[in-house]
Amino acid sequence: MRWGHLLGLPWGVRTGIASLLALLLLSSFAGVATAAKKKKHGDVENIGKRDINKGSWNLYSTEREIALGDWLARNFELTTQRLKDPLVTDYVDEVAERVVRHSDLRMPLRVRVIVSDEVNAIALPGGHFFITTGLIQDTQSEAELASVIAHEVAHVAARHVTKQLTKREMWTWMSIPLALVGGPIAYTVSQGLQLAGPLAFLQFSYNAEHEADFLGLQYHYASGYDPVAFLDFFERMKQREKSRTGGIAKAFSTHLMTKRRIAAAQRTIQESLPARDEYVVTTSKHDEVRVHLEELLDERNPQEAIPWPRLRKGRVTEHPPETGKKNARL
């Protein structure tokens, strides 16, 4: 039935349909959120063989997600300065490849090093990964560098961006039948959705970060690195958020290191990662790259530095892609 046909139905029937649709969609989101909380994926030995997205809602096909990531990456690079020094880029590629080999990611990871003093990293849909020179310099060991990469790889593997976009699209669709119904019941349901929508996005955001921590720790551990380094880096970011020094506070504004997240990561290490006799903590290559970066950037003209891009309205190269078919469950 088309939505327009609702206008020909009695008012009581229309309100009933609208209320039912709202309740069904709300309950489906609640079910997904509950499933996300219950989903453990504690089987470290099956990394790469399991489907961590099974049963989750996603309207984006893999092809459409990759196209979206390509578009975002092109526009992102317009506002950044890439580092093309092979000593640095090859090393970061090596660490990233090691993590990806021990992950659930089912697409290539394309790594770019960005010249910026800010400590930051971001992974876009479709496997685009950007990391700043500031973050590389700030890591105290290769295991710390790998922990950041593992966290971002987890975001891509779990398809968090397109899952959040799916939620936004679903909330938009929910408003269509309500607009056609009208009346006090529709108004009441609409008000409820306006409140529930933002709360759902906030919960999803925390769930996404929590899952990225959980999966990232698994990938980090499976790659042979000391998981304590994961906590060391998080703890240092937490302290710098408190002190608000430099660009650190702004850098991880979307990845806030709450006590709850750190405590959850500690539990993951204790309960889900079997102890090993040996771990990789750092390498001489990591020390060499940090020293080389410091010398390289000291020679740079300060005016050449490009700050980490901020989200703002501006010129883009084209409209976001709409390629690929939508799938309700992937």
Q: Which pLDDT band, with edges at 50, 70 and 90, does 230 fall under?
A: very high
Maximum C-alpha span of the chain? 76
Does the pLDDT value for residue 305 go beyond 90?
A: no
Indicate the length of the chain as a whole number: 330
State the Cα–Cα distance between residues 298 and 292, nearest whole angstrom. 10
With respect to residue 262, please indicate whether it lies within any of the assigned structural domains: yes
Q: Cα 122 vs. chain centroid, distance in angstroms? A: 8
- Nearest CA-CA partner of 258 in 273, 243, 237, 244: 237
Q: Report which DSSP code applies to 50.
A: S
pLDDT-wise least confident of 6-10, 52-56, 228-232, 291-295: 6-10
243 belongs to a structural domain = yes
Q: Can you state the angle between helices 228-243 and 259-272, rounded to 10 degrees?
A: 170
Task: Encode pLDDT of 244-275 as tens digits.
Answer: 544 444 444 445 557 888 899 999 999 999 99
For 129, phi then psi, to 5°, come to: -125, 125
pLDDT at 296: 92
| Residue at 36 is within a domain | no
- Please give the average per-residue pLDDT across 13-18, as a whole number: 49
Q: Are residues 180 and 7 in contact, defined by beta-carbon separation less than 8 angstroms?
A: yes
CA atoms within 13 A on the CB side of 224: 10
DSSP string of 139-158?
Answer: -SSHHHHHHHHHHHHHHHHT
Return the pLDDT at 250: 42
**Position 5: which residue type?**
H
The residue written with tokens 């290559």 in the block is: 285
Q: Determine, yes or no, domain membership for 327.
A: no
**Torsion 64-100-104-217 (CA) sign:** negative
> According to the model, what pLDDT value does residue 130 have?
96
What SS3 class is residue 109? coil
Q: What is the pLDDT of residue 251?
A: 40
pTM: 0.73
Contact (CB, 8 A) for 254 and 311: no
Residue 5 lies in a domain: no
CA distance 7 to 104: 48
Interhelix angle for 62-77 vs 160-181, to 10°? 110
pLDDT digits (tens, 9 = 90+) for 187-204: 554 555 444 444 444 444
Could you tell me if residue 185 is inside a domain?
yes
Among 45-59, 158-172, 269-283, the range of highest mean pLDDT: 269-283
Q: Report strand pairing: 110-114 vs 121-124.
A: unpaired
Q: What average pLDDT is seen over the chain?
A: 76
pLDDT given for residue 242 in this prediction: 66
- With respect to residue 276, please indicate whether it lies within any of the assigned structural domains: yes
Residue type for 224, please?
A: G
pLDDT band at 205 (very low <50, low <70, confident <90, very high): confident
Instruction: Pick 166 or 39 by higher pLDDT.
Output: 166
pLDDT value at position 10? 56
Q: Tell me the pLDDT tens digit for each residue of 59-93.
A: 889 999 999 999 999 999 998 999 999 999 999 99
Q: Residue 293: helix, strand or coil by DSSP?
A: helix
Coil, strand or helix at 280: strand
Assess whether pLDDT exceeds 90 at residue 295. Answer: yes
Domain assignment present for 318: no
What pLDDT sits at residue 208?
87
Q: What is the span of the domain harbouring residue 289?
A: 43-304
Count of domains observed in the chain: 1
